[in-house]
Structure 1
């Protein structure tokens, strides 16, 4: 392995003055509850200081238990960890936002979160059902609320002090700019699928110019086909610089200016994914310029139904 450097500890300043987010984050989209707890604990012990959760993942309780166990051990403090969670689509009505937020806090066993995101720009029928569908199996949307209505409710959470920053997830450039222009409290984070097959250069440029951190999920392609980890450009660079393909992809993501999320249930893989170090600049350019495959792995931006989360 190449000698380590400080890339893995990169932090990105938030535009509302509430601090900074670690560029290297751990995503908790893990369906199995026991695995969620052990993986979250392993991620913190490996060095990850940014955790991404969501009410839609249905495992905030286990994420909270893992954090509580680690914090009680004393080596890692709550204030050392940047914790994000997300509002799901059935809670977009302004009157439903605060109860949903407070429910997430309770499950996570936290007094505050560092970031609260609107999980998708799609509003579903309000109620307890996360996937409301009609008799034909079609999603039931809520036409009575706008994304800006929901955003205003998130701004109120920041005012109350239990949420340090707010952001958007699974949006396109038009949606991000619409909220940014209208917002009293600007989005600090825009959280989208992004990797060399979906670089989102225009959105990244907009975010950079407006002080927004763009955070990439599925940074390793989420084990989907075509497999990013087997891309010949990536594997050739990995051999050349003495890193794994995953470490090459994660290094590229940070060096081009994005924060990112990576997820694994395997402690050794979690540790590997934290052991990221800087790539030569020519390798960063090679990935950006030579990889021309364009694939979106998650169709959530089209329907609001996340492709990586089981419906059950």
Structure 2
């Protein structure tokens, strides 16, 4: 078991010497820009050194403002912050990749990003409308581009030095295998939904085999039903180790070798999510052996359209 205070500062080396990604990450999917800025500043002040952003979130400027102010105040240095952002579905054509990337850099006010992800493997009709729909309300996909063509354009960003590592998001194991088989620069990071109710062990094993970091979003189940944080296995361990159920689920994520993301606008919750400590080995085994629920909360992996699946008694969000 790791030293009590070290799990929250854990960094996972990336393939090809592209640095290391902090296991504990802060997601920036927050609708209000002013709230985004304050939440990011709070996260950096608490100790988060990994910010996960996206063109799709429409708030990269607010994240950039928060980072600029933190850097100016001496709270943190740019080289200590791992910045991830993502290419949206409407920019999959190779000629659109670099302009989209540069626009993200400008909004984030950075000269480089540490990791650039393809947000989903689904290409949408290119253009300024992020959610192109036909007259029947159906998504208009782009059949003129293949995922490997988009990947080649990301490889060129690494070649240019503007981007230190690249990866994929919202992909199945099968789709990941397709890219790994033909990529010149292998994915460094794969971001997918993962939590004790969707542990993705097979995907994680493949990632380990190929030196890829699995980055978990919805690491706490996004507050959906059934509520992961009410699971008796999780709550029982929380009582035993004197931590909250959220801290148990997040420690499990980091301790099994993945990185994870959480999002909150409440300073107390932001601090709680960073304040994780290692779990006893038997607790790790208990989570693996005694949680039988298996459920996916976000349908984006099936269509490329963000959205948590509505169920009775749950809210709905997007990613």
TM class, shorter-chain normalised?
over 0.9
Partner of 2:141: 141
Partner of 2:130: 130
The C-alpha deviation readout for 1:189-218, integer Å capped at 9, x for no partner, is 010000011010000000001100001000
1:5 is displaced (CA, Å) by 2.1
Partner of 2:34: 34
Partner of 1:45: 45
SS where residue 222 of structure 1 aligns? Answer: helix
Partner of 1:212: 212
Partner of 1:117: 117
Please, which runs of 5 or more residues in structure 2 have no aligned partner?
A: 309-315
The C-alpha deviation readout for 1:58-77, integer Å capped at 9, x for no partner, is 00000000000000001310
Residues 217 and 310 of structure 1: is their aligned pair in 2 closer, same or farther, counting only changes over 3 Å? closer
1:197, 1:18 → 2: CA distance?
31
Within 5 A, what are the aligned runs for 1:63-78?
63-78=63-78
1:75, 1:169 → 2: CA distance?
30
Alignment of 1:228 with 2:228, yes or no, is yes
SS where residue 191 of structure 1 aligns? Answer: strand
The C-alpha deviation readout for 1:204-240, integer Å capped at 9, x for no partner, is 0000011000010000011111111111110111001
2:258, 2:292 → 1: CA distance?
19
Q: Over aligned residue pairs, what C-alpha RMSD do you find?
A: 1.1
Question: TM-score, normalized by length of structure 2?
Answer: 0.95
2:259, 2:75 → 1: CA distance?
25
Q: Structure 1 runs of 4+ off > 6 angstroms?
A: none
Partner of 2:262: 262
2:30, 2:16 → 1: CA distance?
31
Partner of 1:160: 160
2:40, 2:231 → 1: CA distance?
29
1:16, 1:34 → 2: CA distance?
37
2:103, 2:118 → 1: CA distance?
15
Does structure 1 conserve the Cα–Cα contact (< 8 Å) formed by 2:45 and 2:75? no
The C-alpha deviation readout for 1:39-93, integer Å capped at 9, x for no partner, is 0010000000000000000000000000000000013100000000000000000
Partner of 1:60: 60
SS where residue 16 of structure 1 aligns? Answer: helix
2:36, 2:224 → 1: CA distance?
21
Partner of 2:313: none
Question: TM-score, normalized by length of structure 1?
Answer: 0.97
Residues 272 and 310 of structure 1: is their aligned pair in 2 closer, same or farther, counting only changes over 3 Å? closer
Partner of 1:10: 10
1:96, 1:207 → 2: CA distance?
28
Partner of 2:87: 87
1:310 is displaced (CA, Å) by 6.3
Partner of 2:247: 247
Partner of 2:182: 182
2:288, 2:306 → 1: CA distance?
27
1:288 is displaced (CA, Å) by 1.1
SS where residue 71 of structure 1 aligns? Answer: helix
Residues 310 and 23 of structure 1: is their aligned pair in 2 closer, same or farther, counting only changes over 3 Å? closer
2:125, 2:271 → 1: CA distance?
40
The C-alpha deviation readout for 1:233-270, integer Å capped at 9, x for no partner, is 10111001100001000000011111100111100100
SS where residue 223 of structure 2 aligns? Answer: coil
Residues 243 and 310 of structure 1: is their aligned pair in 2 closer, same or farther, counting only changes over 3 Å? closer
